[in-house]
Chains A and B, each alone.
Chain A
Amino acid sequence: MNSRILRGLFALLLLPFPVLASLGGDVTTVQADQAKMQGSLRTSSNNSYTLHEIQSSTGVAVREYVSTSGKVFAVTWQGPFHPDLRQLLGTYFDQFEQAEQAQRTQRRGHGPVLIQQAGLVVQISGHMRAFVGKAYVPQMLPAGFHAEDIR
């Protein structure tokens, strides 16, 4: 049995006690996301990260990428509504909110959110009742992991 399968089994064992966190947060200390979304959870892992997938009660599919050191380095979502971004972005929420406001003024109109800062990337697009989004902290991506791999 190779280590990947072992890790997968380990993740499955955690299923009754889902451990999910906000962006940048510690996976072992926060279980709030899944509880808040009252959704179902699926977990899979490979050598560089563990992927937690929550299907929220409002139909939003949330994915959280957790590094082997237990930190959430990326989150994505897709669904008819936005997820609770204050919960999902954690300590990065205020930075996101300010950047979103600043971009609106600079853009001279409405369109998708494309925040590209040194310490935070947030992208939100779509239209009413069909939104997609992703957020990650560039410095926290595991070695060999590319931002394009966040889906």
Chain B
Amino acid sequence: MKPSSANTRSEAGCAAEACPVKLQPLALRLTRRPGPLLAQIEAALRLHGRPLRWAITAVEPGERGAELLLEAVVEVQGQEVPQGVLLASGLEGPG
């Protein structure tokens, strides 16, 4: 079970005034690796911001294993959104 520290933005000491926040819609493709799935998804989303809401919306076969299509909204605070596995910044990504 994960520790309970900093479960919320306010617990992390981040008030609305101090941490201007933007919401970024994303569509991602993630190749599933062995092991627990949840940690893989959360790590992939954290590359783009703090995951606020997400879902696996499709699973497709891939050469290296199942490919998960994720749709999400993440919180970003002033930084650029990296483009690594990003299919779309918006939700019109994977067809």
Q: Do A and B bind each other?
A: no
Residues of A at the B interface (CB closer than 8 Å) are none
Residues of B at the A interface (CB closer than 8 Å) are none
